[in-house]
Amino acid sequence: AADAKRIGLGREALPEEIAAWDVDVRPDGSGLPEGSGSVMDGEELFVDYCAVCHGDFAEGVDNWPSLAGGDDTLADEDPVKTVGSYWPYLSTAWDYVHRSMPFGAAQTLSADETYAIVAYILYSNYLVDDDFVLTKDNFLEVEMPNADGFIVDDRPETEYGRFSEEPCMENCKDSVEITMHATILDVTPDEQAEAD
């Protein structure tokens, strides 16, 4: 705002400082550094750094996230949401792997290593061939299957009207039956055992 006054605190950020912390990558590819990586290199890196949790084929181990599979399951009773089946932008995969993975040793991957691992994740999702090399220049050519799968929050149109009617206060229904019990599942932690 034009009328706002500066107080005069802080100092100007240096270019080296901004470069160190501002590493986000956006859907249009802005923020991507120079570099490249192949599926073949990615497979080796993935086995070394990622497969212990995510599996050799990015299919996930135990409760750890699956990064591949789940095609066409989003409308199923139990959707399987992976990079291939769900993620709309490849930029997110690059950005997140580069910044926050491997879990417990984040920010240890070089740009080329990140390109290679992302290429391998694409390959695991059958989105590229095994001789594919991902680069800054061909990054936007990769088609993400669920790119069009998202809509902006539409609650104002689909919900707020129907949930803003004056509600019933008396004799709202003839009878009430219990249809589901939490104690049948019995998955709640035993708080007494914890406190003891």
Partner 1 sequence: MTADNEKKGASRRAFLKGAVAAGGAVAGAGMARAAEPDPLITEVQEWASGLGEGVDATPYGMPIQYESDVIRRNVEWLTADTISSINFTPIHALDGTITPQGCAFERHHSGAIELKKEDYRLMINGLVDKPMIFTYADLERFPRENHVYFCECAANTGMEWAGAQLNGAQFTHGMIHNMEYSGVSLRTLLTEAGMETTGDLSDKWVYVEGADASSNGRSIPMDKALDDVLVAFKANGEALRKEHGYPVRLVVPGWEGNMWVKWLRRIEVMDGPVESREETSKYTDTLEDGTSRKWTWVMDAKSVVTSPSPQSPITHGPGPLVITGLAWSGQGKITRVDVSTDGGMNWQQARLAMEGQTKALTRFYLEIDWDGSEMLLQSRAHDETGYVQPTKDALREVRGENSIYHNNCIQTWWVKENGEAENVEVS
Instruction: Restricting to residues 109-148, name those near partner 1 by CB under 8 A.
Output: none
Give the chain's length.
196
Considering only residues 51-80, where is the footprint of partner 1 by CB under 8 A? 53, 62-65, 74-75, 77-79
Q: How far apart are CA 80 and CA 59, in angstroms?
A: 11
For residues 143, 149, 151, 157, the Cα torsion angle rounded to the nearest 10 degrees is 160
Considering only residues 5-34, where is the footprint of partner 1 by CB under 8 A? 5-7, 9-13, 17-18, 21-22, 24-27
Question: Interacting stretch for partner 1, rule CB under 8 A, among 42-50, 87-95, 109-117, 131-139?
Answer: 87-95
Structural tokens at position 69:
């599979």
* Min separation Cβ 184 and partner 1, Å: 8
* Min separation Cβ 38 and partner 1, Å: 24
Considering only residues 157-196, where is the footprint of partner 1 by CB under 8 A? 158-160, 162-173, 175-183, 185-195
Q: How far apart are CA 10 and CA 30, in angstroms?
A: 28
Q: How far apart are CA 107 and CA 98, in angstroms?
A: 6
